[in-house]
Amino acid sequence: MNYKNECSICYEPLNGEVYNKWGCYHDLFHKHCAETWKKDCPICRCNKMNKKYNNKYFDIDKFIEFAPIMRGDVSKYREQWKDIKCIERYHKITFHHQYGVIGICHHCSVVQSFNYIV
């Protein structure tokens, strides 16, 4: 069983060191242990190293090029974000106003549309 203070690879204490080269939310590794793994995350077997966004239904890169990011208070949109794991894990979520409001989780490539909230 892994505890938050242990490396998920060698099971030695982390001593405050956390590292992840894959892009998933697992960060319970020593840097030298993670560097020994060449491809996939040893926990979830994902390989997001070479991909910025992984959403086959929505081209996030293209959308971000032209859609202005919302400035100001976006807390009402964050409260309605459908994937609670994104909020709990403090993922970077931005909201853009082009054809309504579109929210994008930059960590796990979730896209959500909203009506304008006044």
Q: In order of start, what are the domains of the chain with their CATH numbers?
A: 1-51 (3.30.40.10), 60-114 (no CATH)
Residue 99 has pLDDT above 50, yes or no: yes
Percentage, residues of the chain above pLDDT 70: 80
pTM check: above 0.85: no
pLDDT bucket at 48, cuts 50 / 70 / 90: low
| Nearest of 51, 52, 16 to residue 31 by alpha carbon | 16
Reduce the DSSP state of residue 102 to 3 states and report it.
Answer: strand
Residue 117 has pLDDT above 80, yes or no: no
Whether the Cβ atoms of residue 83 and residue 104 lie closer than 8 Å to each other: no
**Looking at residues 66-74, what average pLDDT do you find?**
88
